[in-house]
Structure 1
Amino acid sequence: MYSKRELKIIRNEPNRGKSLRDEHNCCVSFRNKMVNLKVIAEYFEATIGDHLKIKLREIQRRVASRMHVNVNITRCRRAKKMVMDKLAENFVHEFAKNPRSTIKMAVDRVTPESPPHFKRSI
């Protein structure tokens, strides 16, 4: 059941019961320690991957609207960095599969000092 309340996990509780009481005297909480940067990075990995220049405030707003939790900018920054590092690692890993492969390109230079203009692959 979805109740927007902070979840507290008590490990190794000696008198743990099997019943559920659905009575709450607490107010709605917008803080949850379980929504850490790893959870944010996994949840928004596709969004950040599609929009590499997404602003941190936009990530913060999306976390608030979809997860109903307020997080600070530092947590969003670290989650975005985690996703960017993972994407960069995947890029390097993908192109390191065959290190002996070469590509030959025909280039044209207007003058010897000018930058090359690619014509076509050979």
Structure 2
Amino acid sequence: MGKSAPTGPRLRVVIEPDVAIGPGKADLLEAIRDTGSISAAGRKLGMSYRRAWLLVDELNQHLGAPVVEAQTGGAKGGGAALTPTGEEVLSRYRNMESACRLAIAADVTALRALIRRNQRQK
């Protein structure tokens, strides 16, 4: 049996017609910040390097400033890091997620109670 899906809201914000950020891109930015590498971030999320790179490139292109930049040097040949723009995008998205969770908490609790009540009636 596979992993169960997370409960609660899954926020996808369309900023402009061709510019959106959702849980996948936010998780990728977070993983790049934590691992210092696009390839390691992709592996951590079960995503190919190509897919991770395309998502980063999409954000870099649409936001008008890079969210991730390559770092050269080091024993392993460099890596990647979030730029200040990338840090701000991630921070603002996580703030929106938190606000969304708080805004709908009572309704989510009520829906869960409804499910439990209906299951007991079967």
Task: Calculate the TM-score normalised by the size of structure 1.
Answer: 0.35
Higher fraction of helix: 2
Higher fraction of strand: 2
Pick the structure with greater CA Rg. 1
Higher relative contact order (CA 8 A, sep 6+): 2
